[in-house]
């Protein structure tokens, strides 16, 4: 609360200064005395005080220490004042900060109103000029950081979100030779992914549309399909036009008749909302159609922030586990190969993180993790003491090296408390092994890996969140082929499979693995694809970000 009160105090100071200024809105570029030495002295006095007043709150990663370091490096020379003239770049900075909503960021975090109040002063003192200089630099630096790395700390939002790849490129702009260079450097800090850029354009579309128009809603009722007529059909058509699924055309149509063109547009809408694309507007489709423009804008903003948590540039060769699409994409040697995956069920979420795949195991033994042993295996043993023998498991006295193998039929499983279960369970390699013939390792604290599975029927499901956290592959043989193609490791892998041996095969080159979670992505046609939030992570984003910013009504 202290930092908030300090912020309010500074803001009120800005308003007071504005009230005492000239009534003219014309910018005052040339400064009468004080001297530059006086301004520099005031900057040195004000920088720590002002930084303290703008202390970050609620986990917002404002890089104030970088501002202090940069001012020290420049001998507290002001950034925005040269030869008694306010640099015109500060006006461009304010414009950029006011447009931060186009990246899903909130302009209020970058103090634009306060900066404008200082700029409107007719005869600012050295202290006022110093305050303006420091606040503008704080705003510049905060925006640079947020645009590059994201404003929020992912682990503070979601403990299962462990992918945070910050970079320090944003700090470089503080050491450029002019304010103009600093401001011009800002746009280069946004993520370079084409997906980010497309989503940003759709965010602006939804923001502008929500500001100008009301949502066109489709009334609930019986499903609408080809050949139907009436006002609800007209509502459906108008909504699909509003959302961009029907492009404007001068061709005359019967607005209230469900024709083939409307069916095609509706199927496109259904595909990009992960609905069954039958071209009929049933209750689920109407529910998706009636999600407000504002809600969709928020959802896009959350996903732009997720992109900022990724490295600014992705490796050309990488494995991309797309959790909300239930797929893995192998970007290897200039080619893309994709296949279906099964991910963790909602109560056992697959975490988001980055690893480095270094080896695979053929015909693996499955060492059952503690949690799965407690929650899954023990209840089965308590119902059937012979369960381990039937399914190829061995049990050991402990997890220590050299632990003694035990006879599972002589253990009183019914009287074992799950919290006190200390046995180690291992499933031998065979056709029924939970890991199948392969597991692909990228060592991590979560003990997550990609693997084969005997439960092939699950890949026929539309939504595939069934595992205990690890990722099951639809075609592990093809996956193994792709990551070893053209190397000795490929032949080694084939020989190990034929011999049915439990063996480690090192990869010819290590491959970055990303497990990612996006609820909005551009589809192949550049339209926003809204996916099911299987792990309810958007609600955590909403709680942390809690806003959607629209274009300000006024500009400097």
* C-alpha distance from residue 165 to each of 212, 264, 444 (Å): 37, 41, 16
- Which residue bears the tokens 């996956």? 479
Query: For this structure, is 470 an active site residue?
Result: yes
How far is it, in rounded angstroms, from Cα 134 to Cα 350? 43
DSSP assignment, residue 465? E
What is the SS3 assignment for 336? strand
**Terminal CA-to-CA distance of the chain, rounded, Å?**
30
Active-site residue (options: 370, 451, 457, 477): 451
Tokens (6 digits) for 536: 């309810």
- Which residue bears the tokens 């084409």? 194
Whether 449 and 470 have beta carbons less than 8 Å apart is answered as yes
Sequence-ordered list of residues with C-beta below 8 angstroms from that of 134, at least 6 positions apart, any chain: 43, 46, 47, 50, 51, 67, 71
Query: For this structure, is 477 an active site residue?
Result: no
- Which residue bears the tokens 């980010």? 196
Own/partner contacts of 478-483, CB < 8 Å, gap of 24 or more, are 478/337, 478/339, 479/328, 479/330, 479/339, 479/438, 479/440, 479/450, 480/360, 480/438, 480/440, 482/330, 482/332, 482/337, 483/319, 483/330, 483/332, 483/357, 483/360, 483/440, 483/507, 483/511
Nearest to 140 by CA among 77, 92, 103, 85: 92
Whether 399 and 422 have beta carbons less than 8 Å apart is answered as yes
- Using only C-alpha atoms, the chain has a radius of gyration, in whole angstroms, of 29
What is the SS3 assignment for 277? coil
Tokens (6 digits) for 447: 């003990």
Half-sphere exposure of 137 (CA within 13 A, CB side): 34
Active-site residue (options: 103, 470, 477, 500): 470
Give the helix/strand (H/E) hosting 521. Answer: strand 520-522
How far is it, in rounded angstroms, from Cα 538 to Cα 531? 11
Tokens (6 digits) for 230: 């009436």
What is the SS3 assignment for 525? coil
Q: Is 25 exposed, middle or buried (0-12, 13-18, 19+ CB in 10 A)?
A: exposed
How far is it, in rounded angstroms, from Cα 100 to Cα 109? 10
Own/partner contacts of 417-420, CB < 8 Å, gap of 24 or more, are 418/374, 418/375, 418/378, 419/374
Q: Is 352 exposed, middle or buried (0-12, 13-18, 19+ CB in 10 A)?
A: buried
> Which positions are catalytic?
451, 470
């Amino acid at each position: 609360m202290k930092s908030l009160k300090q912020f309010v105090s500074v803001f009120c100071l800005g308003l007071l200064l504005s009230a005492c200024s000239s009534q003219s809105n014309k910018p005052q570029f040339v400064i009468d005395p004080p001297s530059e030495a006086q301004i520099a002295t005031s900057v040195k006095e004000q920088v720590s005080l002002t930084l303290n007043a703008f202390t970050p709150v609620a986990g917002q990663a404002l890089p104030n220490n970088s501002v202090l370091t940069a001012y020290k490096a420049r001998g507290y020379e002001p950034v925005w004042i040269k030869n008694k003239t306010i640099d015109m770049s500060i006006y461009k900075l304010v414009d950029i900060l006011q447009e931060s909503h186009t990246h899903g960021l909130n302009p209020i975090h970058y103090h634009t109103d306060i900066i404008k109040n200082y700029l409107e002063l007719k005869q600012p003192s050295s202290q006022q000029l110093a305050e303006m200089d420091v606040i503008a630099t704080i705003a510049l630096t905060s925006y640079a950081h947020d645009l590059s790395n994201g404003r929020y700390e992912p682990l503070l939002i979601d403990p299962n979100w462990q992918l945070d790849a910050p970079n320090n490129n944003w700090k470089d702009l503080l050491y450029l030779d002019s304010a103009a260079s600093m401001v011009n450097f800002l746009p280069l800090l946004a993520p370079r992914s084409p997906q980010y850029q497309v989503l940003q354009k759709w965010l602006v579309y939804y923001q502008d549309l929500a500001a100008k128009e009301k949502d066109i809603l489709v009334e609930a009722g019986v499903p609408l399909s080809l050949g139907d007529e009436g006002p609800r059909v007209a509502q459906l058509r108008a909504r699909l036009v509003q959302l961009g699924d029907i492009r404007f055309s001068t061709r005359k149509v019967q607005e209230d008749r469900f024709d083939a063109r409307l069916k095609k547009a509706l199927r496109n809408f259904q595909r990009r909302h992960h609905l069954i694309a039958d071209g009929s507007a049933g209750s689920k489709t109407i529910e998706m159609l009636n999600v407000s423009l504002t809600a969709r804008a928020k959802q896009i903003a959350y996903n732009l922030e997720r992109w900022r948590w990724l490295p600014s540039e992705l490796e050309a060769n990488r494995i991309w586990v797309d959790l909300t699409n239930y797929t893995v994409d192998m970007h290897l040697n200039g080619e893309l190969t994709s296949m279906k995956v099964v991910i963790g069920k909602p109560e056992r979420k697959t975490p988001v993180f980055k690893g480095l795949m270094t080896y695979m195991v053929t015909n693996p033994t499955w060492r059952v993790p503690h949690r799965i042993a407690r929650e899954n295996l023990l209840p089965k043993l308590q119902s059937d003491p012979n369960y381990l023998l039937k399914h190829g498991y061995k049990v050991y006295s402990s997890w220590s090296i050299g632990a003694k193998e035990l006879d599972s039929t002589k253990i009183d499983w019914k009287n074992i408390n799950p919290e006190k279960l200390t046995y180690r369970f291992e499933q031998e390699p065979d056709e029924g092994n939970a890991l199948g013939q392969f597991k692909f390792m990228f060592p991590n604290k979560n003990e997550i890996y990609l693997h084969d599975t005997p439960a092939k029927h699950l890949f026929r499901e539309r939504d595939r969140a069934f595992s205990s956290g690890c990722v099951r592959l639809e075609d592990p043989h093809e996956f193994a082929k792709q990551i070893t193609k053209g190397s000795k490791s490929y032949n080694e892998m084939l020989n190990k499979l034929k011999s049915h041996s439990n063996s480690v095969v090192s990869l010819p080159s290590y491959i970055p693995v990303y497990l990612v979670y996006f609820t909005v992505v551009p589809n192949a046609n550049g339209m926003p694809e809204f996916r099911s939030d299987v792990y309810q992570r958007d609600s955590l984003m909403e709680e942390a970000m809690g806003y959607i910013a629209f274009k300000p009504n006024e500009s400097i």
